[in-house]
């Protein structure tokens, strides 16, 4: 039976009781943090009952389930999310209110579990939410990083990284499960033993090893009693064995094992769309893959004995290539631990694994030096060699004589292990994350593989959860939508189209704009509290929040702001609707260009915000430490959503969808899921600019783009670029921004000047902004545009995405819950 949240009165009493029993304090004496912990336990009580029931039904009904394998789960705070899904948010809010406490302050006590970098990790979290809401049995498998994504401080305009110690105090929504510990082995060598039956036994010796301990987190479905599990693995040294080695005098090995365990799960690599190729990262990958597979097989064998039928009950979805070792480790377990021969093991593996590609950026392609790989994972390496040998034979059979093709496609080539190639060779499904992205994979980046296995390729356009990004982040709009069209959109976002009936209703449009204004005031206060910048909630809030990457072109945005500032200075009476440009972005710690762009944004902000002469027409704000929790407020307050990546580079984007859901209008390129947003909007109520992906790809191929021409032909660009190197935004050090200038114009400095076509798209970007200005001036026009975005957002729910994964790839059984 589904357990529900108690009534407001009961919650009020329970919170007080918990404060007493947990902290030996009366409610009045408790700190906000203690009240948060008490609330967490009140909610946990309900969650745990439903978790137990779900797992019992799981065992009884024996449905097929998905293991979502991901190095990142950017789950964000769970208290608010769980209250919403348990349908107790209002009750807890009212209970706290009766006790004189603001629920926001309590939610604010929770650390923001930042076990991911950006889109890829947040997508994994949205998927878990949708799986539970749709009652599909699923496990998330990941790593319990002790330090997640760093916290960003801005000091003198520069980014400074501060460790994110989210586990400093006990996290109330995780449960250690020592009963599911497994050993994971690294290094050493492999000895062969021929068996009397003619087979060979492989014995791994001389290795270092750690114990993997899972911490389970509940993943609640919306109002349905379903609770799935996110298992994140931590590493411990092997106490018992360690003692044994001490006795043998093997002191060094014991210390090595201890250090291995200590380092393994210490920190998330803070790179988005970029890989560093560090050995520790490969260790992390094998660690969580091996532990997760061992647990999955362990569970399977509790109720089944025929391992050949594993694909009927289990599917492993690999979130990018980071968990590709799933392929070889599953082969190893099936052969070495469960006695299958190669062919049977391959049959099972290739029916259990599927791969999602999230990027075409070359620097994000994972390739491991063979020497490192072999040294760290000797048995796995042998298996990869054999997979590669057979794969190359298969290519040769299909394309006889085409040795170049074999070289291009091989898993082992040029002294490297190419993870994407292994993922594709073994997976029964390979998907991209937006229609355009999948087409580019098929026709460009993975064309060889598409020719080999056309049937494997499919598209699954990304989505987001409306429970977190509307109900929780923007409860005012959420309540308003409910008052207009009811509640069905909460679990079926396509119902948002019912809002079309209100597009011509002046009163509704007014209410809608009033809510946006309230949300802008909430953000303006946040900005005042954090930045001490006074922004006018009546100005246009134009927002770009996402990881900082050159392909995402925050530089285009700030160069345009510099241009606008010049225009306003030159023509003080020009017709211009006051605009606040809001940025939020973390740069990877070693990414110098990206960090310099952050500094530029902050310096431009300092100059513009302090210039009284422009009469507050322009403001620039850089929000420090952009993360899931403040993102929810930012989306709610945005008028304009900046989705301006170089066409072809942003696989999908998901921030674009969160803005749309909250009634912001997009200015964007025809890239990633923007293309599908454009289609859903019938090409209206969205501002498209810039080159198409075909044009970009053609320029890249023909090497015929010269940014110097763009500058020479456009005096506005000339002026702005001049200001980059004449000290206009850096009086003390006029050379400060020279590297940015060079990256745009100087072919000696980068692979290609203006790699991301910033100057090429500049004029058309300016024009699109002028159209926004014109549209915003008419309040009703704008309200209609914005509301139309909400009405057409239906496709972009992760519920829709998950249903497609289930129908086309996973074929899961829904769990029945009373
Ligand atoms: C690649 C390597 C390391 C860490 C992260 C990545 C990564 C992130 N690759 N793609 N992404 C983003 O994934 C999102 C979810 O599919 C997409 O919306 C976004 O366009 C990708 O950049």
Task: Please give the backbone phi and psi of residue 157, each rounded to the nearest 5 degrees, phi first.
Answer: 85, -10
Q: Are 383 and 369 in contact (CB under 8 A)?
A: no
* Ligand 1 and 116: CB distance under 6 A: no
Assess whether 418 carries a catalytic annotation: no
Assess whether 547 carries a catalytic annotation: yes
Which pairing describes strands 158-162 and 412-413: parallel, antiparallel, or unpaired?
Answer: unpaired
Are residues 434 and 485 both part of a single domain?
Answer: no
Average pLDDT over the chain, rounded to an integer: 97
Question: CA dihedral in degrees (477, 173, 314, 376; nearest 10)?
Answer: 120
Instruction: Select from 118, 282, 285, 358 the residue to mutate for testing ligand 1; criterion: most ligand atoms less than 8 Å from CB.
Output: 358
* Catalytic residue (choose from 552, 617, 627, 716): 552
Are residues 287 and 334 both part of a single domain?
Answer: yes
Percentage of residues in the chain having pLDDT higher than 90: 96
Please report whether residue 36 resides in a domain: no
Q: Is 797 exposed, middle or buried (0-12, 13-18, 19+ CB in 10 A)?
A: buried
> To 5 degrees, how large is the angle CA 511–CA 512–CA 516?
115
Q: Identify the band that residue 758 occupies on the pLDDT scale cut at 50, 70 and 90.
A: very high
* Ligand 1 and 273: CB distance under 6 A: yes
Instruction: Select from 272, 366, 550, 802 the residue to mutate for testing ligand 1; criterion: most ligand atoms less than 8 Å from CB.
Output: 272
Question: Helix 554-570 vs helix 715-725: angle between axes, to the nearest 10 degrees?
Answer: 100
- Nearest to 651, CA basis, from 450, 446, 493, 466: 446
Q: Identify the band that residue 251 occupies on the pLDDT scale cut at 50, 70 and 90.
A: confident
Q: How far apart are the first and last CA of the chain?
A: 6
> To 5 degrees, how large is the angle CA 124–CA 549–CA 760?
125
Give the distance (Å) from ligand 1 centre to CA of residue 604.
29
List Cα–Cα distances, 686 to 351, 643, 683, in angstroms: 42, 11, 7
- Nearest to 118, CA basis, from 677, 654, 664: 654
Rounded mean pLDDT, 264-289: 97
Are residues 453 and 495 both part of a single domain?
Answer: no
Q: Which residue has the tokens 């819950």?
A: 817
Q: Are 673 and 461 in contact (CB under 8 A)?
A: yes
Q: Are 47 and 218 in contact (CB under 8 A)?
A: yes
Are residues 457 and 498 both part of a single domain?
Answer: no
pTM for this model (two decimals): 0.98
* Ligand 1 and 645: CB distance under 6 A: no
Are residues 438 and 355 both part of a single domain?
Answer: yes
Give the distance (Å) from ligand 1 centre to CA of residue 809.
21
What pLDDT is attached to residue 237?
93
Q: Is 330 helix (H, G, I), strand (E, B) or coil?
A: helix
Are residues 328 and 366 both part of a single domain?
Answer: yes
DSSP classification of residue 509: H
* The two structure tokens encoding residue 451: 């020719």
Rounded distance between C-alpha atoms, residue 434 and residue 441, angstroms: 11
- Nearest to 786, CA basis, from 682, 681, 690: 681
Domain total for the chain? 2
- Nearest to 623, CA basis, from 610, 639, 605: 605
Max distance between CA atoms of the chain, in angstroms, equals: 93
Radius of gyration of the chain (CA): 27
Q: Are 559 and 720 in contact (CB under 8 A)?
A: yes
* The two structure tokens encoding residue 360: 């075409």
Q: Are 478 and 470 in contact (CB under 8 A)?
A: yes
Ramachandran category for residue 601: left, alpha or beta (phi over 0 → left; psi -120 to 50 → alpha): alpha
Element of type H or E holding 430: strand 430-432
Across the strands, what pairs with 190? Answer: 204
Please report whether residue 69 resides in a domain: yes
* Catalytic residue (choose from 442, 547, 595, 795): 547
Are residues 403 and 498 both part of a single domain?
Answer: no
pLDDT digits (tens, 9 = 90+) for 170-198: 999 999 999 999 999 999 999 999 999 99
Q: Which residue has the tokens 């056309």?
A: 454
Rounded mean pLDDT, 354-360: 98
Across the strands, what pairs with 369? Answer: 416
Instruction: Select from 122, 123, 273 the residue to mutate for testing ligand 1; criterion: most ligand atoms less than 8 Å from CB.
Output: 273
pLDDT digits (tens, 9 = 90+) for 429-456: 999 999 999 999 999 999 999 999 999 9
User: 100-104, 195-199, 806-810: lowest mean pLDDT where?
Assistant: 195-199
Neighbours of 454 (CB within 10 A): 9
Q: Identify the band that residue 243 occupies on the pLDDT scale cut at 50, 70 and 90.
A: low
pLDDT beyond 60 at 242: no
What CATH number corresponds to the domain at position 217?
3.40.50.2000
Residue 244's domain comprises 62-77+112-144+172-462+803-810
What pLDDT is attached to residue 749?
63
Assess whether 546 carries a catalytic annotation: yes
* Ligand 1 and 657: CB distance under 6 A: no
Across the beta sheet with 618-622, the strand order is 618-622, 579-584, 540-545, 640-643, 665-668, 687-688
* Catalytic residue (choose from 122, 144, 358, 467): 358
* The two structure tokens encoding residue 699: 């320029």
What pLDDT is attached to residue 239?
67
Rounded distance between C-alpha atoms, residue 365 and residue 52, angstroms: 40
Across the strands, what pairs with 318? Answer: 69, 355
Q: Are 800 and 463 in contact (CB under 8 A)?
A: yes
**What are the residues whose beta carbons fall under 8 Å from the beta carbon of 60, sequence distance 6 or more?**
none
* Ligand 1 and 119: CB distance under 6 A: yes
* Ligand 1 and 357: CB distance under 6 A: no
Are residues 440 and 542 both part of a single domain?
Answer: no
- Nearest to 724, CA basis, from 702, 739, 705, 706: 739
Q: Of all atoms in ligand 1, which is nearest to the CA of residue 651?
A: 20
DSSP letters spanning 86-99? TT-HHHHHHHHHHT
DSSP letters spanning 27-39? GGG--HHHHHHHH
What pLDDT is attached to residue 2?
86
Q: Is 175 helix (H, G, I), strand (E, B) or coil?
A: strand
Q: Are 61 and 813 in contact (CB under 8 A)?
A: yes
Rounded mean pLDDT, 463-471: 98
Rounded distance between C-alpha atoms, residue 618 and residue 306, angstroms: 68
DSSP classification of residue 464: B
Please report whether residue 718 resides in a domain: no
Give the distance (Å) from ligand 1 centre to CA of residue 364.
9
H helices present in 204-337, as ranges: 239-247, 251-264, 279-303, 310-313, 325-332
Q: Are 268 and 247 in contact (CB under 8 A)?
A: no
Please report whether residue 57 resides in a domain: no
Give the distance (Å) from ligand 1 centre to CA of residue 359.
6
pLDDT digits (tens, 9 = 90+) for 493-503: 999 999 999 99
Rounded mean pLDDT, 346-350: 99
pLDDT digits (tens, 9 = 90+) for 762-782: 999 999 999 999 999 999 999
List Cα–Cα distances, 169 to 34, 40, 166, in angstroms: 12, 14, 7
* Catalytic residue (choose from 467, 520, 546, 627): 546
Assess whether 658 carries a catalytic annotation: yes
Give the distance (Å) from ligand 1 centre to CA of residue 434.
12
DSSP letters spanning 209-225? EEEEEEEEEEEE-SSS-
pLDDT beyond 80 at 71: yes
* Ligand 1 and 658: CB distance under 6 A: no
Assess whether 484 carries a catalytic annotation: no
* Ligand 1 and 271: CB distance under 6 A: yes
- Length of the chain (residues): 818
Q: Are 648 and 430 in contact (CB under 8 A)?
A: no
Q: Identify the band that residue 746 occupies on the pLDDT scale cut at 50, 70 and 90.
A: confident
Give the distance (Å) from ligand 1 centre to CA of residue 611.
38
Please report whether residue 727 resides in a domain: no
* Ligand 1 and 275: CB distance under 6 A: yes
Q: Are 762 and 714 in contact (CB under 8 A)?
A: yes
- Nearest to 668, CA basis, from 649, 694, 442: 649
Are residues 491 and 373 both part of a single domain?
Answer: no
Question: Helix 715-725 vs helix 758-777: angle between axes, to the nearest 10 degrees?
Answer: 110
pLDDT beyond 70 at 131: yes
Please report whether residue 222 resides in a domain: yes
* Catalytic residue (choose from 18, 456, 658, 716): 658
Please report whether residue 705 resides in a domain: no
Across the strands, what pairs with 581? Answer: 542, 620
Half-sphere exposure of 474 (CA within 13 A, CB side): 34
Are residues 397 and 360 both part of a single domain?
Answer: yes
Please report whether residue 154 resides in a domain: no
Q: Which residue has the tokens 């005096």?
A: 715
Rounded mean pLDDT, 612-634: 98
- Nearest to 321, CA basis, from 408, 423, 416: 423
What is the sign, positive or negative, of the torsion defined by CA atoms of 119, 125, 131, 137? positive
Are residues 434 and 555 both part of a single domain?
Answer: no
* Catalytic residue (choose from 579, 654, 666, 801): 654
* The two structure tokens encoding residue 506: 């002046």
Q: Identify the band that residue 474 occupies on the pLDDT scale cut at 50, 70 and 90.
A: very high
* Ligand 1 and 149: CB distance under 6 A: no
DSSP classification of residue 181: -
Element of type H or E holding 698: helix 693-702
Give the distance (Å) from ligand 1 centre to CA of residue 316.
19
Rounded mean pLDDT, 715-720: 98
Rounded mean pLDDT, 743-754: 83
Rounded distance between C-alpha atoms, residue 201 and residue 192, angstroms: 6
- The closest residue, in CA terms, to atom 6 on ligand 1 is 273
**What are the residues whose beta carbons fall under 8 Å from the beta carbon of 7, sequence distance 6 or more?**
91
DSSP classification of residue 431: E
Are residues 292 and 389 both part of a single domain?
Answer: yes
Q: Of all atoms in ligand 1, which is nearest to the CA of residue 358?
A: 10
């Amino acid at each position: 039976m589904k357990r529900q949240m108690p009534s407001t009165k009961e919650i009020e009493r329970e919170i007080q009781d918990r404060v007493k029993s947990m902290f030996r304090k009366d409610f009045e004496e408790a700190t906000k943090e203690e009240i948060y912990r008490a609330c967490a336990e009140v909610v946990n009580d309900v969650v745990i009952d439903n978790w137990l029931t779900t797992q019992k039904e799981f065992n009884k009904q024996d449905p097929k389930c998905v293991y979502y394998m991901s190095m990142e789960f950017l789950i964000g705070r769970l208290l608010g999310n769980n209250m919403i899904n348990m349908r107790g948010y209002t009750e807890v809010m009212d209970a706290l209110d009766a006790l004189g406490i603001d629920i926001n302050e309590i939610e604010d006590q929770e650390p923001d579990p930042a076990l991911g970098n950006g889109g890829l990790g947040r997508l994994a979290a949205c998927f878990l939410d949708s799986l539970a809401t749709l009652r599909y049995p699923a496990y998330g498998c990941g790593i319990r990083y002790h330090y997640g994504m760093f916290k960003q401080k801005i000091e003198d305009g520069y980014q400074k990284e501060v460790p994110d110690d989210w586990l400093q105090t006990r996290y109330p929504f995780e449960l250690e499960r020592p009963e599911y510990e497994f050993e994971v082995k690294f290094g050493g060598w492999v000895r062969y033993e021929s068996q009397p039956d003619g087979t060979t036994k492989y014995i791994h010796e001389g290795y270092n090893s750690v114990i993997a301990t899972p911490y389970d987190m509940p993943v609640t479905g919306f109002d349905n009693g379903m609770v799935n599990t996110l298992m994140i693995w931590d590493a411990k040294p092997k106490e018992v064995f360690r003692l044994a080695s001490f006795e043998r005098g093997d002191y060094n090995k014991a210390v090595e094992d201890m250090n291995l365990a200590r380092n393994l799960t210490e920190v998330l690599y803070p790179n988005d769309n970029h890989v560093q190729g560090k050995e520790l990262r490969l260790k992390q990958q094998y660690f969580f893959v091996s532990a997760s597979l061992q647990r999955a097989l362990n569970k399977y064998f509790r109720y089944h004995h025929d391992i050949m039928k594993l694909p009927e009950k289990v599917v492993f979805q690999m979130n990018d290539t980071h968990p590709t070792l799933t392929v070889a480790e599953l082969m190893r377990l099936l052969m070495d631990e469960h006695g299958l021969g190669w062919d049977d093991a391959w049959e099972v593996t290739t029916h259990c694994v599927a791969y999602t590609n999230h990027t075409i950026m070359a620097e994000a392609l994972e390739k491991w030096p063979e020497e490192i790989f072999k040294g760290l994972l000797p048995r796995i390496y042998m298996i990869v060699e054999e997979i590669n040998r057979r794969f190359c034979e298969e290519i040769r059979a299909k394309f006889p004589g085409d040795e170049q093709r074999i070289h291009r496609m091989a898993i082992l080539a040029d002294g490297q292990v190419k993870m994407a190639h292994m993922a594709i060779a073994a997976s029964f499904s390979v998907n991209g994350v937006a229609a355009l992205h999948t087409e580019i994979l098929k026709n460009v980046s993975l064309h060889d593989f598409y020719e080999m296995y056309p049937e494997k390729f499919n598209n699954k356009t990304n989505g987001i959860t409306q429970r977190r990004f509307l109900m929780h982040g923007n409860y005012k709009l959420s309540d308003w939508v409910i008052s207009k069209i009811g509640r069905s959109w909460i679990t079926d976002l396509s119902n948002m189209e019912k809002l079309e009936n209100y597009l011509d209703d002046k009163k509704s449009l007014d209410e809608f704009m009033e809510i946006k204004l309230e949300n802008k005031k909430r953000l303006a206060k946040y900005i005042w509290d954090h930045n001490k910048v006074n922004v006018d909630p009546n100005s246009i809030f134009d927002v770009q929040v996402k990881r900082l990457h050159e392909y995402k072109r925050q530089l285009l945005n700030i160069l345009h702001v510099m241009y606008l500032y010049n225009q306003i200075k030159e023509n003080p009476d020009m017709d211009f609707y006051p605009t606040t440009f809001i940025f939020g972005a973390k740069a990877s710690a070693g990414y110098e260009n990206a960090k310099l762009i952050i500094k530029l944004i902050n310096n431009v902000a300092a100059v513009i915000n302090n210039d009284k002469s422009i009469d507050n027409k322009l403001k620039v704000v850089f929000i420090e430490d952009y993360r899931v929790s403040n993102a929810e407020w930012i989306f709610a307050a945005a008028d304009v959503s900046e989705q301006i990546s170089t066409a072809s580079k942003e696989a999908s984007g998901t921030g674009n969808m969160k803005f749309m859901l909250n009634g912001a209008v997009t200015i964007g390129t025809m890239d990633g899921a923007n293309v599908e947003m454009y289609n859903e909007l019938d090409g209206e109520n969205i501002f498209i600019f810039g080159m198409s992906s075909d044009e970009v790809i053609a320029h890249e191929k023909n090497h015929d783009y010269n940014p110097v021409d763009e500058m020479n032909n456009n005096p506005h660009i000339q002026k702005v670029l001049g200001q980059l190197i004449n000290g206009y935004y850096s009086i003390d050090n006029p050379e400060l921004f020279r590297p940015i200038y060079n990256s745009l114009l100087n072919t000696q400095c980068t692979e290609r000047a203006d790699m991301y076509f910033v100057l090429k798209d500049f004029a058309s970007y300016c024009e699109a902004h002028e159209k926004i200005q014109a549209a915003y001036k008419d309040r009703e026009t704008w309200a209609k545009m914005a509301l139309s975005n909400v009405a057409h957002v239906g496709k972009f729910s992760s519920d829709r995405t998950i249903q497609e994964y289930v129908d086309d790839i996973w074929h899961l059984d829904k769990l029945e819950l009373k």
